[in-house]
Structure 1
Amino acid sequence: MRRLLGLLLIAYGFLLAVNTTFPLLADLGGEKVTAGITGDEWSCQQDLLAPPYAGIYGNCELSWVIGPLRDSGRVVGPGVAAAVEASKTAVPAAAITGMEGYAFLPPTGLERIAGFAAPLVIVFGLVLLFAPRKRRRRGRGHSHGDHDHDDDDYDSDDNDSGDSGDSGGDGGGDGGGGGD
């Protein structure tokens, strides 16, 4: 059950990362671009379910200028289709260097906080998935003559000088059987 919960947290953490951490990184350290429609035709995909916490943001095929080069790809973010439809000319976005073909609309409010939380959710899921599990022995209570048989509790005769008088046992027992 713990491993299943770990897998679910990892998957949810990646969903949060795609929807919140990447846009946050683009906004904080990416290059600011103005994305626009390249021609008369443009295509957008609508949001899937309820992003950013339970779905994936929609995206539009647009182009933008980074330095002297013109790049094209997907602009991802909340309401990107509505933003493109409203302006028809330009949408402010941010591109992460190294993620060719993707630009992100800047995150707002709670999305910024979730952007910082997503890596923590992934790490917690990895801990649940890969951390060694503590094993407990069942029926290890100390009642009705139960004896503790751990090797650590016994004194070994090999390590004794022979003068201690310790027999190496636990000195317990219930005194034998009870007659009829």
Structure 2
Amino acid sequence: MIALDYWYVGDYQYKDHAIAYVPALVHVLAEGRYRTLNPQQEKEEEVVSLVRKEEKKKEKREKVLEVYFGFDSYRLSQKEKEKLLKLDREKTYFLVGHADWIGKEGYNLRLSQRRAKSVEKYLNSLNLKVEGISSKGEEECRIKKELEGKVRVSGKLIKELQPCRKVEVFSSF
């Protein structure tokens, strides 16, 4: 049995569930893009094949840099644009957007998607190839999440969570 990288049902995100637990409609990250599948209409072997292809691609990816964003923002700063200018034009890139845990989960997921799209748009303007994007919302900031509800959202907390507001850029080889 193969595990899915990510799948979504409604607004809920699940991770590392086996194909046997696939509900009526599934959004799968496969071949660098999200794809909606209906397991009742598509053969399980096709779904497994797509997931295996994506897993092979992941093995061939290397993180080359992280691009950071301001609080509640998906706009690239000039400093971050300069980091992206140094990327190799011969390679293809995969982007993963992130957000901190301040705010609602659905909003943070959309914000992380906008961040990844912002980087993708800028890379495309530089004629760099992007093979796909993924978003993890607040996934990377789970350690800090234990403070949620116990501390007031302040400038200090916003600053401390800065490393969570990013897009990871991976190269494929």
Q: Please report the TM-score for the alignment, with normalisation by the length of structure 2.
A: 0.24
| Structure with max Cα Rg | 1
Q: Which has the higher strand share?
A: 2
